[in-house]
Amino acid sequence: MSSTSRFKRPKKPRKARVLTHDKLEEWLATREHPMPGVSMIDGYLAALVVSPQFIPPEDWLRPIVGDGIAWAPDGSIEEAVRNTIFQRYSQIGATLSGGPKRYAPIYMRTDAGEVLLEDFANGFYLGMRLSIDDWKPHISSPEIGHPLTAILGHCTTMMPEDQRQNALRGQAGEIMAQSWKVVPELVEMLHVSIGGARNIEIR
């Protein structure tokens, strides 16, 4: 039996159980082994939806959450986590394809309300890496590469942190501190320019 045929997805007609984002964040934070947070997962999913190369769920789920969730049995909390991730993936795809609501990234925020883009950016870059060869021509294009800096400039896994911080000194740092505001428009542009405006949904 192939790994693809063993891959579990929500079955019909049983309604798939899902978690709120707060409940998902709480569950992820209590795992024995470190797990990505909701914002990182959200950035990861956004990169997959706008990717120049379609990546099937059976190829992208394990790299972000591992086998325990990818192969979770029906009725388990891990299945609900998987369903929630699938639901968000479908929601991003539908929204970017002209849904009634505008795309809204999920960001980490401090208690004072400051937006922290690093987790989202790290997830976005991780999603890009799954098809990085397909991304490279677009990254090299000023029309795509320069705007992408609004996200990737916050990524802490692309380069040594001291180099990243040096690049964000002075005015560049001030601009990047506000770059979270343009991420919705940037992701929408990437969806049209790179993803071909395809509608991706897991049914």
DSSP 50-81: H-SS---HHHHHHHHH-HHHHTPPTTSHHHHH
Residue 2 lies in a domain: no
Q: Which of 13-22, 23-32, 84-93 shows the lowest mean pLDDT across its residues? A: 13-22
Q: Return the closest-CA partner of residue 43 out of 199, 200, 155.
A: 155
CA 71, distance to chain mean position in Å, is 20
Q: Return the closest-CA partner of residue 103 out of 113, 90, 114.
A: 90
Residue 35 lies in a domain: yes
Q: What is the pLDDT of residue 124?
A: 97
Residue 202 lies in a domain: no
Q: What is the pLDDT of residue 14?
A: 62
Residue 4 lies in a domain: no
Q: What is the pLDDT of residue 177?
A: 76
153: which residues sit within 8 A by CB, 6+ positions away? 121, 164, 167, 168, 176, 179
Residue 201 lies in a domain: no
Structural domain boundaries, residue 158: 13-193
- Give tens-digit pLDDT for 152-193: 989 998 866 666 666 555 555 566 778 899 999 999 999 999
Q: With 70 as the cut, is the pLDDT of residue 126 above it?
A: yes
To the nearest whole number, what is the mean pLDDT of the chain?
Answer: 86
Please state, in angstroms and rounded to a whole number, the distance separating the CA atoms of residues 94 and 175: 30
Residue 199 lies in a domain: no
Residue 8 lies in a domain: no
**What's the DSSP call for residue 154?**
T
CATH number of the domain to which 121 belongs: 1.20.120.740
Residue 180 lies in a domain: yes
How many domains does the chain contain in total?
1
